[in-house]
Structure 1
Amino acid sequence: MTQTLVPARVSPPGRILNRELEARGWTQKDLAEIMGRPHQTINGIINGNKQITPETAIELAEALGTSAEFWTNLEAKYRLHLAQKEVSGSPETREISRRSRLYSFAPVAEMIKRGWIQAADSIDVLEQEVCRFFEIDQIGDVPNLAVNCRQSENRDPEIQAQLAWMKRVEIVVRDQKLPTFDRAKLEAAIPEILALSSKAENVALVPDKLLSLGIHFAVVPHLGKTYLDGAAFYIESRPVIALTLRYKRIDNFWFTLMHELGHIFAGHKGSYLDNMDNLEVNQEETEANQLATNWLLNSHELSILVKTTAPYFSVEKIQKFALDQNRHPGILVGRLQKDKEIPYKNHTKFLVPVNKLLTPWVFN
């Protein structure tokens, strides 16, 4: 029957083995002969000069009626104990701890890749770079952001990436010189902004139009794990609209833009980080969504089109309806796809990319 041996504390395997021999009245030579091993091997284990390999653990288990796992675990724990005594508290382990804390605080590798901070071999310099970016005194301080991201002591990687993305947006828009924002002027300008959606090339005119209304604008590609499409918030009483162009299609651009404008138009005073695939369910997001939907396409006329045309939407009908609405056909196609009126594979030629039209406004 296999015995279960449990040492009370971390002990050298050789000491436990020697006790087993004494309990049986065996000598080292006896055990060596039983196992068919040289005497020097048994002596080396007992004196701590040799480690117990998996093969030796199996043989010891057979000879002593124990489990092989007992000897392998005993050896592993003892070697770990020795290593901890040797390196615990050393400069190397302290640096590992600091790097772990730093990489948990921010997406350091991606920030270096984007050029937001400089790479550094020294942990001191790297911490300084991260502190400089977030404008904080030390790692662990809460960054002072216009957007109130969810705060917790143990932030997950998504929230950490959102914090870094938001700080980057703040940095790139703070030098934009704008007139005073007037919500009434924005309300009057909504038809002018929408009129730009008739042609793809007009996307390039949108940023200057927003700036003329006192609205900051920038495109900052999303960081891994953020899955953001856009954001709306305020800096010193002026609204900011930031896009990621996660999806580069014309329909995504216009819906995200008008959704963020919807927050500002409706007078929402909060800060909004939006993933258009998974919007939070609350009154303000619902209101912004409804505004964007109604602005881009007349809902009543769209319902008539669907009722009289579905499920077969020809190129001609799509082009005619878009022309009547003074919208690019891609905006209609994107809506029909989202509403599952047509498959995502249909009419994709209208879903033109617009990212290159916004190159001057993209800040990696």
Structure 2
Amino acid sequence: MNIKIIKNAKDYADAMTRLSALMTLDPAAGSGKEDELELLALVIADYEHKIVPPAEPDPVEAILFRMDQAGLGRKDLISYIGSASKVSEVLSRKRPLSLAMIRRLHDGLGIPADILIGGDKPQELMNAPDADYTRFPLKEMLERGYFGDFKGNAARLKDYAEDLMRSFLKELSPAQAQPALLRAPLHQRGERQADGEALLAWRLCVLKKARSMALAHDYEKGIVTTRWLKDLAKLSAFNEGPRLAREYLANAGIALVIEPHFKGTYLDGAAMLDQGRPIVALTLRHDRLDNFWFALLHELAHVSKHLDDAHPFFADDLDSPDEQDRKEKEADEMATHALIPPDVWGKAMVRESLSPKDAQTFARQLGINPAIVAGRVRHETGNYRLLARMLGQGDPSRFLA
């Protein structure tokens, strides 16, 4: 007996020749040649397994086999897959199985989950979902590119809502941490409460963008002070002030993200924590420079005063103030004082004249953008027709693209 490990095609050919010869001899049971035959067959099988990996289990073949076993027709699959057209598309491999279909086929027909779901995918996907994913703003997320190259109408989006959202969440967090993301506490300002799933989806989209950003330094608690905010406000005087603001925040270890709001959220901005790193997110819902700067400083005030592990998310609708919320009043006050100190504002001529010229002069004295002065006048007087032309000096989003 001279059997060796097969390392290449020549060794394999020699082993196959010897195996054929031994099989022709039909060795007696218990003989040395029978032992050689069995051992050689094991060595050959091991080599074949290495060079020809086993075929992946095929979900469609498994379904067809089970149908044949149970004498089922295509109409019998409608309750598991959803409709006659969907059954046809699945069996012709034009439509992939969704997680919901997989669970029903497994529970109803007893087809092994690992075959239906694929051996390389975690079996926890067979567990009941942590949320009703069909309630998320799927169409808007698709339009923003968060679902890759997925194509389909609203009905198809709903069919694959769980698959798409689980994949999106997987990019943000390991599977065992995903339920925590879905249940994170959300503090909402104002009387108009946002759609819960839309607000959560917006937060997740912000996280995805923020995690792709490289910041210059780690955040140190206490860096955001009124003095620091005043220096930030002076960047508003530059045409590229919003872009400079992003760099200013990055140098402090704070990510500034622009993510348009989803329908039903009424958001101007939010402050949030992500593994100890602060994120300020703005929606630019109101395309005005005064709104950009006030919302930015308001969220940074939350970072300074309120953001911690027990309160990791503050979402703000600045059109709907909550006068009973102490934290929101503190953030408003800190932002307002940093942009225009109250002692200086009390002496400003523009408060009486309401003229563009005085607004420009006052802005130059403070070293800030005139839009901020115009916004303060409009807010204080309640007359939003005043100084309107001073607000359209630039779209902040173009500096942050």
TM-score by structure 1 length? 0.64
Partner Cα separation in structure 2 for residue 309 and residue 239 of structure 1: 36
In the other structure, the counterpart of 1:321 is 362
Residue 128 in 1 paired to residue 163 in 2? yes
In the other structure, the counterpart of 1:279 is 321
Match of 1:337 among 378, 390, 393: 378
Partner Cα separation in structure 2 for residue 175 and residue 103 of structure 1: 25
Q: CA deviation at 1:93?
A: 6.8
**Greater CA drift, 221-230 or 261-270:** 261-270
TM-aligned CA distance change 1:319 to 1:353, over 3 Å: closer
Q: How does 1:1-364 map to 2 (within 5 A)?
A: 89=79, 91-92=81-82, 104-117=134-147, 118-120=150-152, 121=156, 125-135=160-170, 142=179, 144=181, 148-149=185-186, 158-178=195-215, 179-187=217-225, 189-269=228-308, 270=311, 271-280=313-322, 281-305=324-348, 310=352, 312-340=353-381, 343-352=383-392, 354-355=394-395, 357-359=396-398, 361-362=400-401
Deviation per residue, 1:175-223 (Å, 9 max, x gap): 3223211234333633321221223432221101100110011100111
Given that 1:203 and 1:354 are in contact with CA atoms closer than 8 Å, whether structure 2 keeps it comes out as no
Q: CA deviation at 1:253?
A: 0.5
TM-aligned CA distance change 1:143 to 1:226, over 3 Å: farther
Q: CA RMSD in A?
A: 3.4
Q: CA deviation at 1:328?
A: 1.3
In the other structure, the counterpart of 1:26 is none
Given that 1:150 and 1:159 are in contact with CA atoms closer than 8 Å, whether structure 2 keeps it comes out as no
Q: CA deviation at 1:104?
A: 4.1
**Greater CA drift, 101-110 or 269-278:** 101-110
Count of residues in Structure 1 that have an aligned counterpart in Structure 2: 265
Partner Cα separation in structure 2 for residue 316 and residue 288 of structure 1: 30
Q: What amino acid is the match of 1:119? A: K
Aligned residues: percent identity?
A: 27
Partner Cα separation in structure 2 for residue 122 and residue 181 of structure 1: 39
In the other structure, the counterpart of 1:21 is none
Given that 1:234 and 1:240 are in contact with CA atoms closer than 8 Å, whether structure 2 keeps it comes out as yes
Q: Secondary structure at the match of 2:263?
A: coil
TM-aligned CA distance change 1:239 to 1:275, over 3 Å: same
Given that 1:131 and 1:137 are in contact with CA atoms closer than 8 Å, whether structure 2 keeps it comes out as no
TM-aligned CA distance change 1:327 to 1:228, over 3 Å: same
Given that 2:230 and 2:339 are in contact with CA atoms closer than 8 Å, whether structure 1 keeps it comes out as no
Q: What amino acid is the match of 1:130? A: M
Q: Secondary structure at the match of 2:285?
A: coil
Given that 2:243 and 2:400 are in contact with CA atoms closer than 8 Å, whether structure 1 keeps it comes out as no
Partner Cα separation in structure 1 for residue 184 and residue 347 of structure 2: 41
User: Runs of 5+ in structure 1 lacking a partner?
Assistant: 1-85
Partner Cα separation in structure 2 for residue 339 and residue 234 of structure 1: 32
Q: CA deviation at 1:346?
A: 2.3
Partner Cα separation in structure 1 for residue 355 and residue 158 of structure 2: 61
Q: CA deviation at 1:150?
A: 6.9
In the other structure, the counterpart of 1:63 is none
Q: What amino acid is the match of 1:199? A: F
Partner Cα separation in structure 2 for residue 115 and residue 264 of structure 1: 29
Deviation per residue, 1:199-248 (Å, 9 max, x gap): 34322211011001100111001111111111101111111101111112
Q: What amino acid is the match of 1:167? A: L
Q: CA deviation at 1:102?
A: 5.3
Partner Cα separation in structure 1 for residue 211 and residue 351 of structure 2: 49
Partner Cα separation in structure 2 for residue 251 and residue 147 of structure 1: 31
Q: What amino acid is the match of 1:345? A: R
TM-score by structure 2 length? 0.58
TM-aligned CA distance change 1:262 to 1:290, over 3 Å: same
Deviation per residue, 1:81-118 (Å, 9 max, x gap): xxxxx9995743799xx79x956431112212222123
